[in-house]
Amino acid sequence: MWSCKFRIYPAKEQEVFLAKQFGGVRFIYNYLLSRSNEIYEKEKKTIHINDLKKEIPQLKSAKKWLKEINSQSLQEAALNLGKSRDRFFKKQNGRPRFKRKNSKQSCTIPQHFSIKKSKMDNKFLYIPKLKSGIKIKMHRELVGESKRIVITKTYTGKYFASITYDVKREDIPKPKTMGEARGKIGIDLGITSFVTTSNGEKILYPRFMKTSLKKMARASKSLARKKKGSNNREKSKLKLAKIHEKIANKRSSFVHETSFALINENQVIYAEDLHVKGMMRNHCLARSIADTAMGEFIRQIKYKAEWRGRTFVQIGRFEPSSKMCNTCKTVNKELKLQHRTWRCKLCGSMHDRDINAAINILKIGQNVSRTRASLGKGRPEVKPVERSTKVFSSNKKKQVGSMKQEPISNLRIGMHGNLLP
């Protein structure tokens, strides 16, 4: 499945139509969520989402304005609620919450939409129950069969259409700047140096949020002074939302460019399986870690490596990549987080903490890959464990585990590539 996000520019009457679509979807979602909570409180049991969906026709009879909404979009709202409840029961996220009118709005259209080109080479999006086409700016051509479309409205009033369609790997368009891969590389992620490679290169992070903290503080203070429900308060909310949107856009652009550059220049990339959620529990570093978007960066490396025919390997998060000397393999147990450089007591080698970690990640990843390949385990990728490891006890002040985790393989592989009992 391939998904592309395009900017759309609805006219005034089309904005009114989309507002009705968003409102209908939001109403169905909130009503079914309320019914689900009510039934659970009274009968102490959960009702299946298919039983809740049966109430939609009755609602359409009672609420005549719901007939103006695309019926499939209302069904999709119920399905989204079912998925959210399933994730909650599996402890993958929190309890489903009611959707607000002033937050991000969206509606899903699974069928009967099309994109047509006008005589002036402008493209328009046609959706059910809307006779006129919505102008859409497409920066790439769709190469597969369209499956669904999600129309969203951001906090700042911008409209986007995310189109999902089936595409084969060989049909994925390759960028014009795609070059030949050179070899293998290990990368270490950090806060000051966002990416440190085993070649000694460092990519510094621009710290988009930190440079905009004063603007955010002034906008937040101005918003707090406004009277609730006033027009000035809405203007202040829009101003603050634009600041956050600009930061998010800069961060997204930086992560995409950096991940593409690594995929473009290397055939095999080795990285650590970081537990970002556990790292975020450090209140001293949480803001900086969130600003770097490490989890999003690893996610992009994964799918871009798969698309471009590269290999992405993740080593276990318990490997001593920073504390181990890459020359003599001695582990420095006294190394602290504030120590950025250190000297090995055995061989006397001077190490930069990040470069040393990247070199060790490369060596450990190569040993793991060779060991798995020799045992006939197929492709030598080490995928991260899907489930998270509990690293803190019920007492939040006491840490009971490391923020790293071993590979998913049933085999225990040491830092030198040998099998452990």
Per-residue pLDDT reduced to its tens digit, 17-73: 999 999 999 999 999 999 999 998 888 888 888 899 999 999 999 999 999 999 999
Q: How many CB atoms lie within 10 A of CB 205?
A: 21
Last residue of one domain, picked from the residues 142, 171, 200: 171
Shared-domain flag, residues 265 and 393:
yes
Shared-domain flag, residues 311 and 252:
yes
Residue 177, helix vs strand vs coil: coil
Shared-domain flag, residues 62 and 40:
yes
Which residues have a Cβ under 8 Å from the Cβ of 421 and sit 6 or more positions away? 412
Q: How many CB atoms lie within 10 A of CB 270?
A: 27
CA 162-101-134 angle, 5° bins:
35
Question: What total of structural domains would you count in the chain?
Answer: 2
CB 204 within 8 A of CB 254: no
**pLDDT value of position 412:** 34
Report, as an integer, the average pLDDT of 226-235.
93
Alpha helices in 190-308 (DSSP H): 208-211, 213-225, 231-265, 276-279, 286-292, 294-308
Task: Give the C-alpha separation, 117 to 125, whole Å.
Answer: 9
With a pLDDT cut of 90, the percent of the chain lying above it is 42
352-389 pLDDT per residue, tens: 888 888 998 998 888 877 776 666 655 444 443 333 33
- Residue 21 maps to a domain: yes
- Pairing status of strand 184-189 against strand 268-272: parallel
Last residue of one domain, picked from the residues 146, 171, 196: 171
- Residue 191 maps to a domain: yes
Which residues have a Cβ under 8 Å from the Cβ of 147 and sit 6 or more positions away? 1, 110, 164, 165, 166
Range of the structural domain that residue 85 is part of: 2-171
Shared-domain flag, residues 147 and 20:
yes
Report, as an integer, the average pLDDT of 111-123.
85
Beta bridge partners of 37: none
126-149 pLDDT per residue, tens: 999 999 999 999 887 777 778 899
Shared-domain flag, residues 190 and 327:
yes
HSE-up (13 A, CA, CB side) for residue 131? 1
Q: How many CB atoms lie within 10 A of CB 300?
A: 19
- Residue 178 maps to a domain: no
**pLDDT value of position 421:** 35
- Residue 35 maps to a domain: yes
Last residue of one domain, picked from the residues 171, 203, 225: 171
Which residues have a Cβ under 8 Å from the Cβ of 287 and sit 6 or more positions away? 209
Shared-domain flag, residues 137 and 202:
no
Please, what's the b/e burial string for 356-391 (b: 16 or more CB within 10 A of its CB; e: otherwise)?
A: bbbbbbbbbbbbbbebbeeeeeeebbbebbeeebeb
Shared-domain flag, residues 63 and 199:
no
Shared-domain flag, residues 78 and 191:
no
DSSP for 21-76?
A: HHHHHHHHHHHHHHHHHHHHHHHSSPPPHHHHHTTHHHHHHH-GGGGGS-HHHHHH
Shared-domain flag, residues 282 and 357:
yes
- Residue 177 maps to a domain: no
- Residue 179 maps to a domain: no
Shared-domain flag, residues 134 and 274:
no
- Residue 343 maps to a domain: yes
Shared-domain flag, residues 11 and 95:
yes
Shared-domain flag, residues 265 and 118:
no
- Residue 176 maps to a domain: no
CB 137 within 8 A of CB 131: no
Confidence (pTM): 0.78
